[in-house]
Amino acid sequence: MGLLFLVRHATTAASAAGRNLGQRSDAGLTEDGLRLAERLACAIARELLPLPRPALRLVTSPARRCQDTAASIARALDGSSAGVVARVEAGLRELDYGSWDGLTPDECRRRDPELRAAWEADPYTVRAPSGESGADVAARSFPVLTAAEDWARHNDGRVVIVVSHNHVIRIRLAALLGLPLRDYRRRFAVDPGSYSLLMLGTDRLTEGGGATVRRLGALAQDGEC
């Protein structure tokens, strides 16, 4: 049995303002986001303290906000697992919001009321205007995630940490826990700088394989380090 961390990048100006940030720009973390990334990294390092030098893989979206978050994690884990280097995977990019990129939910509703209502009812099959659906995200992210999870699940002491985005993480959680994928936005909330921790079993009872939740959307607190 291995461990899987699904980590959402820390705070950006867009996430702090409640604005969509997909693929159309590549913002970095705010000053608060950089501090949050350090606390997050310390929290993950403490989760791994019971494991003596685990075999570890760190995988990240190519977005700057994710790579900055992954860099904090790599620094925190340097003493517990030798040679931690984040591998960049393009399939882990955030949903392409298309014409909704940079907008708030209310602005999207005013711009495209019917399409937005349909998307909110079923974001897995309905695409953002000139953008992607949740199914599009799954099609490119699931092969990356499945490969990483399979590496971890068949050996005790293996850990995979995935640093990615809001939609990627929620869709994967729905799949791992056997929930309807169209409900991923309704069933899960993952804040910037949060992590979910799952134990990966070898039974394949769900689409993504057997998984047991230990943490869901956990946030590091002030003074974590």
- Indicate which residues carry an active-site annotation: 9, 94
Q: Which two tokens stand for residue 160?
A: 């995979």
